[in-house]
Amino acid sequence: MASVSHAALHTVSDVKSAIASGEPLFLAGSREALAQLPRGQWIGGTIPYFMTKSGGVMSEDRIFLTPVPRMTESVRIGDYGADSIQKLYDDAPENGFTFVAMPASTAVHKSFAEQAPNCDGFLFRPVVGWVAGVRVEQIGKQSAAVFNGLTGAAREDRCCALHVALPAGTIANLDIVNIFEPGSGPVVRFERTGFRAVDCLIEGKQANLAEFMAAHAIPTEYPLVGDYSGTHINVSFQKVDPAAKTVDFYAPIFPGIDYRFAKPITDYARAFEHATASSDCEAAFACNCILNYLYAGLEGKTTGSITGPITFGEIAHQLLNQTMVRLTLHKAG
């Protein structure tokens, strides 16, 4: 395979050929698969779940390959720790975008989630990618990792980024496809940023979120939906512990945001297909959330025409949950 023009699931052998051709690549696969690759212009993150044209699939011996668009002017690869999130934006091109992969449940994951919205360049220098993970049965037994193709290093404590500069007149656009809507229940507000909530304000009154959810039998497969100046952003539940009176999330909650419990969805696959049906532009990259894959039983089912890795968190400017993310490129004007 000398050249790749579309994102798809490939054998390790085919990916090796693409790397040898010198093409810059964004890769997703198991640690075992990614570890077999030669050095080159690529970064990757561990994940064994994917959406293909024939439906959702789990594979530990194949790799999802996303080629960098061919009109690219230049690429630059770097890795960043929990203390250098601002440098990620400093290194990003003035016109272009940055692919990024970061390991789940790490300091850099937490740091990016909480700090990115306050970084210089946030929103103006698009960052897109995913949180790397492992097979669900191996959570707690194996660690997620990201790979820097230039050095060949696999890291569990840093994120890897591939900065892509685009020619003048070409614009990168990040599209968030969220099938969840806020329900008609109470408004929930928080006073501190973080991945864990204890006390909160429910309709303006002090309350314990875990106790409230237990008392009202709130299902955890549907997220909290926050209103970010008219954009709906999900925060998914990781664990609700009424005894400890704590609620853990897969993304941080922020003060000053109105959250509501999401409306239930009866058919995930159909909802995604409907949400993406009107798109007339092919995505240069896309990913979807592992929670959608599991709760909706997406193995063997398609989500419209969108393909890509199934992730432990999606990144479109900031960390997202239970969301589909798409990167598209457009000519200015």
Rounded distance between C-alpha atoms, residue 33 and residue 310, angstroms: 16
Count of the separate structural domains present in the chain: 2
Question: Do 291 and 170 sit in the same domain of this protein?
Answer: yes
Supply the pLDDT for residue 280: 56
> Count of CB atoms within 10 A of residue 206's CB?
9
Q: Is residue 181 part of a domain?
A: no
End residue of a domain, out of 244, 261, 278: 261
**Tell me: the pLDDT tens digits for 209-237?**
999 999 999 999 999 999 988 889 999 99
End residue of a domain, out of 261, 295, 311: 261
Question: Do 54 and 158 sit in the same domain of this protein?
Answer: yes
> What is the chain's mean pLDDT, rounded?
92
Given CA atoms 278, 281, 282, 287 in this order, what sign does their dihedral have? negative
Which of 192-201, 268-277, 299-308 has the largest mean confidence?
192-201
> Count of CB atoms within 10 A of residue 78's CB?
20
Q: Is residue 1 part of a domain?
A: no
Question: Do 200 and 255 sit in the same domain of this protein?
Answer: yes
What is the band of 5 on the pLDDT scale with cuts at 50, 70, 90? low
Question: Do 93 and 224 sit in the same domain of this protein?
Answer: no
Supply the pLDDT for residue 125: 96
Q: Is residue 182 part of a domain?
A: no
Question: Do 157 and 192 sit in the same domain of this protein?
Answer: no
In which domain, by residue range, is 208 found? 188-261
Q: Is residue 274 part of a domain?
A: yes
Does 320 score more than 70 pLDDT?
yes
Question: Do 140 and 169 sit in the same domain of this protein?
Answer: yes
Q: Which residues contact 31 (CB under 8 A, 6 or more apart)?
A: 46, 134, 142, 145, 154
Rounded distance between C-alpha atoms, residue 43 and residue 65, angstroms: 10
Q: Is residue 3 part of a domain?
A: no
If DSSP codes are grouped into helix, strand and coil, which group holds residue 149? coil
**Tell me: the pLDDT tens digits for 94-145?**
999 999 999 999 999 999 999 999 999 999 999 999 999 999 999 989 999 9
End residue of a domain, out of 240, 261, 282: 261
Structure-block tokens of residue 271: 């909802």
Supply the pLDDT for residue 1: 47
Question: Do 12 and 124 sit in the same domain of this protein?
Answer: yes
Question: Do 223 and 247 sit in the same domain of this protein?
Answer: yes
Residue type, 330: H
Question: Do 32 and 146 sit in the same domain of this protein?
Answer: yes
Question: Do 244 and 323 sit in the same domain of this protein?
Answer: no
Does 305 score more than 50 pLDDT?
yes
* Residues facing 219 on adjacent strands: none
Q: Is residue 183 part of a domain?
A: no
Supply the pLDDT for residue 333: 67
**Tell me: the pLDDT tens digits for 235-279?**
999 999 999 999 999 999 999 999 999 998 888 777 877 776 655
Supply the pLDDT for residue 306: 84
Question: Do 281 and 246 sit in the same domain of this protein?
Answer: no
Supply the pLDDT for residue 295: 86
Q: Is residue 2 part of a domain?
A: no
Q: Is residue 130 part of a domain?
A: yes
Question: Do 157 and 51 sit in the same domain of this protein?
Answer: yes
